A and B are shown apart, each in its own frame.
Chain A
Amino acid sequence: MTDQVLSEVSRAQVNQVGLSKNDYRGNPTTLCQGCGHNSISSQIIAACYELNIVPETIIKFSGIGCSSKSPFYFLNRSFGFNGLHGRMPSLATGALFGDHTLRGLGVSGDGDTASIGMGQFKHIVRRNVPMLYIVENNGVYGLTKGQFSATADEGLMLKKQGVNPYLPVDIAWEALVGHATFVARSFAGDPKQVKELIKAGLSHRGIAVLDIISPCVTFNNQDQATHSYAWGKDHEVALHELAYVPPAEEIMVDYEDGEIKEVCLHDGSTVLLKKLDREYDPTVRSDAMRILEEANANNWLITGLIYINSEPPSLLEQYNLTDEPLNRLSEERLRPPRETIDLLNSMMF
């Protein structure tokens, strides 16, 4: 077969819901070439395709910043709302009440989440809103050209800015302390892991916080910066090798006892965690805290599934809403019937 024929065959390839990968694409990116965010967008596309997600069942959300532009570069067939700087969590919280069968996919940045948006971030986490919340974390403001964000390293030197005197915010820590039910960290230079974590996050019952170190090639990619490609490659310590297995699919891996840990998600899917250098159980919150502290002390970029708890109900599950999406309810189900007005008036003095 010629190359052309080959590419046509692959274009025609469809997943179980009859969609091709093209159905998951977005518009061409306008971010810098080499930006970590573009690689994450590609993994979102791949993950949704492989998960057989109907794009119309996802709602994309973002705030303001380079990262927040990215929802335009994937899932064109999904609804999306590019809201205000640091205020995406509240927007998503309200929007997801519209139709409880939909799932949120939020993309934010370190400025959007950890600087201006810290308050809303902490509260969406504690409400367990059903969405995957990705932070594309590069330690720097891109659109305003290179200021420190709240996750920038202490002592980081940037052109025009000088030396950063403040300690960084650790987004995974904040999520964990704030009772997130799913906390993961990854590295844009490790696309395979990014993709598996996106799949797991999209299948999680409540909020899934995925902090991805996503280098800014223009403003903060010096080798010694902890948000750079070089530093990430040298310092990444994966907690485990990770594979997502969809619901109802048989787990077909040969492994020795104790080598693989299975984590079951609420929707029946499973995350397989293959042991690497150390024993790690992401269902124990205190272990998660310990590993983050250890990583911090040793200058590791810890990646993988740091913490998961599938038990707590999501925000929407707590509201006992109609099975039919709220935004499809007819007037008869929303306005009390005419005869109730006398009862109402009799309840007044």
Chain B
Amino acid sequence: MISEEEQGKAKLIYNDFSITIASVNGSGSQTSNMTIMRALFRMGIPVSGKNLFPSNIQGLPTWFTIRVNEDGYLARKDQHDIVVAMNPGTFEQDLQGVVSGGAFFYDDSIKLAITREDVAIYPMPVKQIVRDSGAASNLRDYLANMVYVGVLACLLGIDMNTILQALDFHFKGKQKAIDLNWGVIKASADWAATNLQKSDPFMVRPSNKTDGYIMTDGNTAAAIGSLYGGMQFCGWYPITPATSLVETVNEYHPIFRKDPITGKNTCAVVQAEDELAAVGMAVGAGWSGLRAMTSTSGPGISLMTEYVGLAYFAEVPIVIWDVQRVGPSTGLPTRTSQGDLLLVYYAGHGDTRHIVLLPGSVTECFEFGWRSFDLAERLQTPVFVLSDLDFGMNQWMTSPFKYPDMPMDRGKVLWESDLERCNGQWGRYLDIDGDGIPYRTLPGNRHPAASYFTRGTGHNEYARYSEEPEVWERNMLRIKSKFETAKAIIPEPIVQLENGADISIISYGSTDQAILEAINLLGKRGYKIDYLRLRALPTTAMVAEFVRSHRRNYVVELNRDGQLNQVLRTEIPECAMQLISLAHLDGLPLSASWVVDALIAKEKNND
């Protein structure tokens, strides 16, 4: 232990550290971890939390890392400043992982050797405190995790009031549950105040940096965004990490989507027997004029691909959320990845290509939740939204949800009165506006000329079967031209420019925070770096211009083969040599230090 004297000299570090909590899956540690995070957030301190959990219900090790950063850099930190060890199975590994000068809290019933002298060590009498709380024996294991909440609160200086607020939110005001947990937390904090002496440098203090922000996860944002987009049908099948998206739809649609006139439901959710059926239902619903969606992860996309091809060719609007996890195969089902970009961009046999939206924040998950329906219905085509486990299942500090800033775009639909005006003269696949997008009618339209026969086989402008070579080619080229139309209405990238930079980072999605931090760190080391955060595919002229204007563009993404880099090289072939892949694939959320090291290594090779 560091002596009192040394501690006196040690400089305290406020609002800038990471906490890693090691526990056993299924032990209820998630409630404790969320309580700490939310309390810190309520203190005004920017905070993030990432759950590194196994594909398991109970028994395997799990880690939760919290990052506190006054400047708002909230990407995962590679370094463990504070470790809480609740799992004997990983105790030694956890102890070794603490940074020198860091802090190590552990359940004192774990009788293993403490082999570090460069770390502040805090044993916690977990069993004793829980027993003394008088809680029923069946609740004790669960409450054990509240002990570290109280101990950390005491030693880090977390405001106990904010902990109470966090408990109140978590237990939705249920007083009995709040009291039970609060009792253990309070007792633990009191115990720590009497029995532990602070010998590490990490402290928190109140701030105002979370004013105007909310804390939520990407799946919640996507679900509610979809409801604000007027989602009317969702077919789905459970799969980690997408499951909670539709579960949240189920939770919120009774609140927000009762018909204001009749009080009846304006949307339906059907849990299908598999992903083939989930997307099949969505395609059926999209075809019949509903704002239809499904939500899945990589393995589900594999199964959905046949229907996606049909929807593309038959020109049916649907929205497909892919909350990515690590593949191929079952892969690492509880870890994060950006490995599905090529899969969704080209999903389907034959000539297919799809609109892909790439939210880069939880708020954008909400925005693209509603915007995706406008694009799908306007373009009459599947629209993919590529989220990932890090967004989907972790809590993020994010801007509040903004009400959609434009009315719904229901696209080109002809109803009875429209058909009367044109005397029933229309062709389902006829491009009369020159934008590649034809008009469609919907089942239920009673005009005698309304119906048409939809098919996955070759068809002419009037939806009639055709094997004529020129008809096939003409139709496929028209469908392709919708992609050009799309470029004017899909979200443009967000660009951050440094004066005089001639190298850049291009990225998308959940890597954003690590990259912003990396650019800051690289700046301190003399690197000027521009940044383009892509928000949709296909690439637009703005992206091409950005790539062209930088000598070296580092394409940062979470997969093995640099999938976005491949897309950019294909779509901007003249700049292929200006595009360099920085791909990271270990299943963990990106850290700024990885980006810094990887980029500098490449830059050194270039010099």
Contacts and interface: CB of A to CB of B under 8 A. Distances in A.
Interface of A: 54-57, 59-60, 71-72, 76-84, 87, 89-99, 101-102, 119-120, 123, 127, 319-323, 325-329, 331-338, 340-341, 344-345, 348-349
Contacts of A329: 232, 259, 266
A93 B281 contact: yes
Contact of B451 (A78, A321, A325, A338): A78
Interface in B34-61: 38, 41
Contacts of A123: 272-273, 277
A333 to B, nearest CB: 5
Given A97-B290, A326-B290, A83 B310 contact: yes
A340 B403 CA distance: 9
Contacts of B453: 60, 71-72, 79-82
Interface string B265-308: 11110101110111111111111111110000000000000110
Contacts of A344: 224, 256, 401
Contacts of A97: 232-233, 268, 284-285, 288, 290
A90 B272 CA distance: 8
Nearest to B362: A348
Interface in B203-261: 214-216, 220, 224, 227-230, 232-233, 235, 256-257, 259-261
B228 A89 contact: no
B284 A327 contact: no
Contacts, number: 222
Q: Which of A59, A120, A335 has the most CB of B within 10 A?
A: A335
A322 B444 contact: no
Contacts of A87: 276-277, 280, 306-307
B235 A94 contact: yes
B285 A322 contact: no
Contacts of A322: 259, 261-262, 264-266
B227 A336 contact: yes
Nearest to A325: B444
Residue with the highest number of chain B CB atoms closer than 10 Å, among A91, A331, A341: A91
Interface residues of B, number: 79
Nearest to A78: B451
Given A79-B452, A80-B451, A94 B284 contact: yes
Contacts of B278: 90
A107 to B, nearest CB: 13
B224 A94 contact: no
A340 B401 CA distance: 11
Contacts of A101: 444
Given A79-B443, A99-B444, A349-B214, A319 B274 contact: no
A335 B289 contact: no
Contact of A336 (B214, B235, B257, B408): B257
14 contacts: A56-B451, A71-B453, A79-B441, A79-B454, A90-B235, A94-B286, A98-B444, A120-B273, A320-B265, A321-B265, A322-B262, A327-B444, A328-B444, A331-B408
**Which one of B41, B268, B445 has the greatest number of beta carbons of chain A within 10 Å?**
B268
Residue of A57, A93, A96, A123 contacting most chain B CB atoms (<10 Å): A93
Contacts of A337: 260
A322 B268 CA distance: 11
Given A97-B290, A335-B229, A119 B273 contact: yes
B292 A348 contact: no
A344 B256 CA distance: 9
Q: Which 10 A-B pairs have the closest CB atoms?
A: A98-B288, A90-B280, A94-B284, A334-B230, A327-B289, A94-B281, A99-B444, A95-B284, A94-B285, A90-B277
Contacts of A327: 232, 288-290, 442-444
Nearest to B399: A345
Given A72-B465, A77-B448, A120 B268 contact: no
Nearest to B260: A333
B350 interface: no
Contacts of A348: 214-216, 220, 400-401
B261 A335 contact: no
B284 A341 contact: no
B456 interface: yes
Contacts of B455: 81-82
A323 B264 contact: yes
B412 to A, nearest CB: 15
A333 B442 contact: no
Most-contacted residue by chain A among B257, B280, B402, B403 (CB, 10 A):
B280
B404 interface: yes
B403 to A, nearest CB: 4
Given A90-B272, A92-B284, A322-B266, A98 B446 contact: no
A329 to B, nearest CB: 6
Nearest to B314: A81
B287 A321 contact: no
B526 interface: no
Contacts of A320: 264-265
Contacts of A338: 403
A98 B256 contact: no
A81 B280 contact: no
Contacts of B216: 348-349
A89 B277 contact: yes
B457 interface: yes
Contacts of A331: 230, 407-408, 410
A319 B443 contact: no
Given A93-B284, A326-B268, A328-B444, 7 more contacts: A82-B455, A83-B310, A123-B272, A321-B264, A326-B289, A331-B230, A344-B256
Contacts of A76: 451
A92 B283 CA distance: 9
Contact of A326 (B266, B370, B404): B266
Given A87-B307, A90-B277, A348-B215, A341 B403 contact: yes
B277 A345 contact: no
Interface in B352-390: 370
B256 A94 contact: no
A339 B519 CA distance: 39
Contact of B456 (A77, A83, A89): A83
Nearest to A87: B280
B408 to A, nearest CB: 5
A82 B235 CA distance: 20
B262 to A, nearest CB: 6
Nearest to B415: A328
A341 B401 contact: yes
B169 interface: yes
Nearest to A95: B284
Contacts of A127: 270
Given A326-B290, A328-B444, A335 B408 contact: yes
Contacts of B370: 335
Contacts of B408: 331, 334-335
B274 A119 contact: yes
A145 to B, nearest CB: 18
A95 B443 contact: yes
Nearest to A321: B265
B259 A98 contact: no
Given A56-B448, A322-B259, A334 B287 contact: no
B547 interface: no
Interface string B481-494: 00000000000000
A321 B443 contact: no
Contacts of B287: 81, 91, 94-95, 98
Given A90-B235, A91-B280, A340-B256, A335 B404 contact: yes
A222 B68 CA distance: 78
Contacts of A71: 453
Contacts of B272: 90, 123
B232 A94 contact: no
A21 to B, nearest CB: 15
B450 interface: yes
B451 A345 contact: no
A94 B288 contact: yes
Contacts of B261: 322, 333
